Amino acid sequence: MWSFYFHELMNSMPFFIKGLWMTVAVAGLGLVAATIIGFVLGVIRAGQNKILRFLIGVWVDVTRGTPFLVQIFIIFFILPGVGIELEAFPAAVIALSNLGAGFICEIVAGGILAVPQGQREAATSSGLSGYQQMRHIIMPQAMPSIIPPLVGQYVLIIKDSSVVSAIGVVDVTRVGWLTVQRIPEGLMVFGLVGLLYFSVCYPLILLSNHLERRMSVQNTKL
């Protein structure tokens, strides 16, 4: 019986590969948008404007403090009630971008705030503008502490992308749910789903570990 199920599962591999590509597409677009938004808001969050810092802080707390599934449902099911209708794919990308941006914002802000205040004062006394300070002085020093947790966050966002199957996105998780109705061996089917996610996430895990070790060596030398 197991050999029959395994044979059927192998016959379904083209559907799993298509689902994997959908996962990569949703996660990839979400990561790009989340990185851009997160960096911009992270810089503002680490700035001097207290009102903007407060507003961004509230948004970050709400984003990180509510289930991702609820956020997806709000975007896909609630927004049409106010005239904003989205297909499943763009709704998934927007939801994933919002989630990722909240976490990346805090990572970026933390890295910027970790730069010694004296560096800012020296840059100010040198006549550099705020933009020049951020580009040439602060951000180059902040990036070594930003990149390792940023890459680690990418892994978490990719895994969170599995939730988008709840609104009908035919990603690899959705393919798994459809397949297990035909092949009633959940361990085998979702073992394959987990393996496919692992194949995407593991290179990023290795990269994150490498960057953390490299940063630790650099800090030791300093």
Amino acid 209 reads N
What average pLDDT is seen over the chain? 88
Q: Is the pLDDT of residue 220 over 70?
A: no
Q: What is the mean pLDDT of residues 5-23?
A: 88
Say which CATH number the domain at 208 has.
1.10.3720.10
Nearest to 56 by CA among 84, 96, 98: 98
Range of the domain at 215: 2-221
Q: What percent of the chain has pLDDT over 90?
A: 53
- Say whether pTM exceeds 0.85: yes
Report pLDDT for 124. 75
Q: What is the mean pLDDT of residues 101-129?
A: 86
Q: What is the mean pLDDT of residues 26-32?
A: 94
Amino acid 23 reads T
Q: Is the pLDDT of residue 62 over 90?
A: yes
The rounded distance, in Å, linking the Cα atoms of 152 and 173 is 21
Total number of domains constituting the chain: 1
Q: What is the mean pLDDT of residues 28-56?
A: 94
Strand, helix or coil for residue 185? coil
Q: Is the pLDDT of residue 52 over 80?
A: yes
Q: Is residue 69 classed exposed, middle or buried when 0-12, 13-18 and 19+ CB atoms within 10 A define those classes?
A: middle
The rounded distance, in Å, linking the Cα atoms of 215 and 175 is 39
In the DSSP assignment, the letter for residue 79 is: G
Q: What's the pLDDT tens digit per position in 68-80?
A: 999 999 999 988 8
Q: Give the least confident one: 19-33, 115-129, 151-165.
A: 115-129
Q: What's the pLDDT tens digit per position in 131-148?
A: 788 888 888 888 888 988
Q: What is the mean pLDDT of residues 203-221?
A: 74
